[in-house]
Amino acid sequence: MHTRSKKPTKQRKAQANSPYHRRNKTLRAPLDPKRYANARVKRVTLRTGDTVKVLRGSRQGHEGKIAIVNLKKGKVSIEKALLRKADNKEVAVWFDPSNLMVMKMDLSDPLRKEKFKGLGDE
């Protein structure tokens, strides 16, 4: 978030109170360097349908599609990454975007496909 203040409290407040169209830009993850070596960009905004790999945490190495992007929490849920509770209910595990890597982008959106057409993902 862009604030003129250097104070950490004001920085955190600006981020917590930021509108959703700005929060969406903060949910970014790096692209897979093997697959997208010749790409002009290193990180992309996460969207539902992107295939990601978990780099850190107890689920390290898990790969799956993004099921839900929660802008309020600033977290992402991945398909088949579930946590079993004591009453045998399964709930989604939420991941921070900084702990993920985009393995394959979802190019079903024509605008996104046009923007990243040189990546050779088709």
Residue 7 to residue 29: CA distance in whole angstroms: 26
E strand segments, 32-74: 43-45, 51-54, 63-70
pTM: 0.85
Domain ranges of the chain: 8-119
Residue 60 to residue 118: CA distance in whole angstroms: 30
Compute φ and ψ for 28, nearest 5 degrees.
Answer: -125, 155
pLDDT at 40: 84
pLDDT at 38: 83
pLDDT at 120: 54
- CATH code for the structural domain at 8-119: 2.30.30.30
pLDDT average per 10 residues of sequence, the chain (122 residues) = 87 92 92 88 94 96 96 95 96 96 94 81 48
